[in-house]
């Protein structure tokens, strides 16, 4: 891995961190009286795209660094803020975690199987 690849991976990790902030911040969007957690779907698609880009730079475990950064930010949204309770404390956070982690995990597992079957 060259220095340029490491720099690109660092940029992707920062983008995963920022994606975590944005998806957690806009998770509570409502349309009228109905909750509309569209950021859960955006997180799933964006994490797959970031994972594909990171996979093009390295085949090591470092390709999962942007996903780990996103998971860290999302997990921090579950913790109590100043002892008052969690930032987001309902089913939408679980949906965000499920979409943001399950979709990239499915992509990573199928890409590994695809790589094994090609060799």
**39-58: pLDDT as tens digits:** 999 999 999 999 999 999 98
Decide if 74 contacts 26 (C-beta within 8 A): no
Q: What is the pTM of this model?
A: 0.85
What's residue 1's pLDDT? 77
According to the model, what pLDDT value does residue 113 have? Answer: 74
pLDDT at 92: 87
Burial (CB count within 10 angstroms: exposed 0-12, middle 13-18, buried 19+), residue 3 = exposed
For residues 92 and 82, what is the distance between their CA atoms, to the nearest angstrom? 21
């Amino acid at each position: 891995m060259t220095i340029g690849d490491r720099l690109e991976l660092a940029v992707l990790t920062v983008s995963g961190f920022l994606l975590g902030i944005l998806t957690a911040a806009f998770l509570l969007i409502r349309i009228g009286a109905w909750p509309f957690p569209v950021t859960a779907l955006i997180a799933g698609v964006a994490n797959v795209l970031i994972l594909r880009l990171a996979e093009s730079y390295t085949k090591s475990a470092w390709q999962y660094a942007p996903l780990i950064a996103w998971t860290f930010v999302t997990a921090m949204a579950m913790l109590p803020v100043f002892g008052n309770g969690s930032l987001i404390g309902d089913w939408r956070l679980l949906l965000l975690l499920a979409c943001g982690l399950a979709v990239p995990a499915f992509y990573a597992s199928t890409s590994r199987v695809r790589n094994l079957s090609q060799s």
